Amino acid sequence: LACQPEQIKQQDTGSHSTGSQGKQVQLVPNPAMVKPGSGQLTLPSTVSVSASPDAPDSLAALGELLAQLGVSQSPNDNAIIRLVIDPNLSLGEEGYQLAIEENVTIKAATDTGLFYGVQSLRQLLPAVPQASYTLPQVFISDQPQYAWRGSMLDVARNFFSLDYLKQHVDRMAAFKLNKLHLHLTDDQGWRLEIKSWPKLATVGGSTQAGGGPGGYYTQEQMRELVDYAARRQVEIIPEIDLPGHTQAAIASYNELACDYVVNSPAQNQCTDVTGAARLALYEGTCVGFSALCTSEKPDLTYQFVRDVLTEVAAIFPTKYLHIGGDEVLNEEKASFAGFITEVDRIVASLDRELLAWEEASVGDIRASSLLQLWNDQYNIQPALDKGIHLVLSPCSYTYLDHGNYDGQPNTYTWCAKQGIPLARVYSLTPEDYPQAVGVEGPMWSELVRDSATADNRMWPRLTAIAEVTWTPKQQRNYTAFTKRLSALQGHLDRLQIQYYPEPDVNWR
Ligand code: TNX
């Protein structure tokens, strides 16, 4: 391709220089191909827009962009910004071309592709209103390397408001991230209204780690979020963590626990969970002590799982239902594999695919399932041999509850003693895993009590995950990335992100 020299130059400087005026193309994630032109395009004071009829989401995003910049639109046959659906464009479901010459033309096979073209245009324009707008002439041809570009929020340990979730979707979309995995249930809280088991939310949702009011989302609120996210090309992946991490469910419906548990000692590390506490609400941070009672009460257990997943499937249109499957360390460990096998049958009967943490590989699950790799300590080879694909969340690269730096307060260190700086996240190479569908950065929230802290943990590290998943390896370079990121500081501010001021990035 003709763009080769510019790409090499870009790796040195972090930006694609265009023309003598020095207007630069500085995008995160870095596009697959950028061919700078030599001139500039100054937008007229009113801008006319045209769009293919089947492009509602990208047209809305463009409208929002122009409104934010105070640019008014005028109806005019000679459109300055054009959104064109071209079914013959071979850049996949999410790819686009952005050509800035005498006008701005974004082409894609789908509305999703056009939406990403608009996000790139957004980054090329200033974050805040100016007197006039000048764009570099450039030709970009771009498509993601991976389909799964994810963020996980643990809304169970700490409850996050619906407004925060929407804001998070906006931020994800700006960096072309497309999967928001919500960890909806855990020992410390059940966050989703389930009509057939109402106490899950009203009782199980009333606590959180470290104490506090907790909270839950109604089904209507989650439908609203699903729709809000879909219009920004983000899919909400719901997780109901089973059969462990279920203390909030057990506290809501004691019959879900095995009868023997009240008389058993706590699972050895969890000294705060003994006797009656094994049936009570939990606000601590220990893991592995709770489980549904597959061994003694299979009928009740599977009825519960079927009821819950049936309601979940009706709210979330996603192909994959995340059923957890992590860290069963108590007496029910022995029946774990059979449980996972049975849950996959339930998921199949709902016409969905199974997604679970890597421990679930011991179950007899369909080859079309996805496993989420997190600690690389389980033998998942048999599952890989079967053809199962992976969402990569290796904890020493992607666990965003670990510090941005060594010794950051209120962070975990169990997987990376010195924290996980931006450079470390960026160094993850998904290409090393042939069966990967992408990467996800989990933000567990045992130690995160508010949205400012959540922002600090997720940003800018999620921008590294965006680039690692979107951009091919040859176009990735950490120094160049930090330069492009610093050029987007205004955009982080516009999105009101309270990011960690990572010292590798030259912030103004
Ligand atoms: C492990 S990773 C967990 C979570 C904790 C996290 C804390 C995984 C599937 N389980 O329950 O929140 O560590 O870093």
Please give all residues whose beta carbon lies within 6 A of any atom in ligand 1, as ranges: 287, 326-327, 357, 374, 399, 401, 412, 444, 446
Confirm whether 487 is domain-assigned: no
| Same domain for 323 and 256 | yes
| Same domain for 186 and 303 | yes
CA distance 31 to 289: 46
Q: Which atom of ligand 1 is nearest to the CA of 327?
A: 10
pLDDT band at 5 (very low <50, low <70, confident <90, very high): very low
Q: What local confidence, expressed as pLDDT, does residue 20 receive?
A: 40
pLDDT band at 15 (very low <50, low <70, confident <90, very high): low
Q: Which atom of ligand 1 is nearest to the CA of 415?
A: 14
Q: For residues 224 and 296, is the Cβ–Cβ distance under 8 A? A: no
Domain final residue pick, 110, 142, 174: 142
| Same domain for 260 and 332 | yes
Task: Look up the pTM and report it.
Answer: 0.95
Confirm whether 479 is domain-assigned: no
| Same domain for 228 and 97 | no
Confirm whether 484 is domain-assigned: no
Does the pLDDT at position 17 exceed 80? Answer: no
Nearest CA to ligand 1 atom 7: 444
Nearest CA to ligand 1 atom 5: 444
Confirm whether 493 is domain-assigned: no
pLDDT band at 12 (very low <50, low <70, confident <90, very high): very low
Confirm whether 103 is domain-assigned: yes
Count of domains forming the chain: 2
- For 51-82, what is each residue's pLDDT tens digit? 999 999 999 999 999 999 999 998 876 889 99
Confirm whether 498 is domain-assigned: no
Domain final residue pick, 142, 160, 194: 142
Domain final residue pick, 142, 161, 191: 142
CA distance 491 to 176: 14
| Same domain for 348 and 235 | yes
Count of residues in the chain: 508
Confirm whether 496 is domain-assigned: no
Does the pLDDT at position 413 exceed 70? Answer: yes
| Same domain for 236 and 172 | yes
| Same domain for 439 and 312 | yes
Residue 362 maps to which CATH number? Answer: 3.20.20.80
Pocket test residue of 185, 327, 336, 440 for ligand 1, highest count of atoms within 8 A of CB: 327
| Same domain for 333 and 412 | yes
CA distance 282 to 359: 24
Q: Mean pLDDT, to the nearest integer, of 258-265?
A: 84
The residue range of the domain holding 122 is 4-142
Q: Which atom of ligand 1 is nearest to the CA of 372?
A: 9
Q: For residues 440 and 179, is the Cβ–Cβ distance under 8 A? A: yes
Confirm whether 489 is domain-assigned: no
| Same domain for 309 and 197 | yes
Higher per-residue confidence, 21 vs 292: 292
Pocket test residue of 322, 444, 445 for ligand 1, highest count of atoms within 8 A of CB: 444
DSSP string of 302-364, one letter each residue: HHHHHHHHHHHHHH---SEEEEE-----SGGGGGHHHHHHHHHHHHHHTT-EEEEEGGGGGS-
| Same domain for 217 and 260 | yes
Q: Which atom of ligand 1 is nearest to the CA of 445?
A: 12
| Same domain for 159 and 70 | no
The sign one gets for the Cα dihedral 488, 493, 495, 501 is positive
- For 344-402, what is each residue's pLDDT tens digit? 999 999 999 999 999 999 999 999 999 999 987 889 999 999 999 999 999 999 999 99
| Same domain for 385 and 237 | yes
Residue 116 maps to which CATH number? Answer: 3.30.379.10
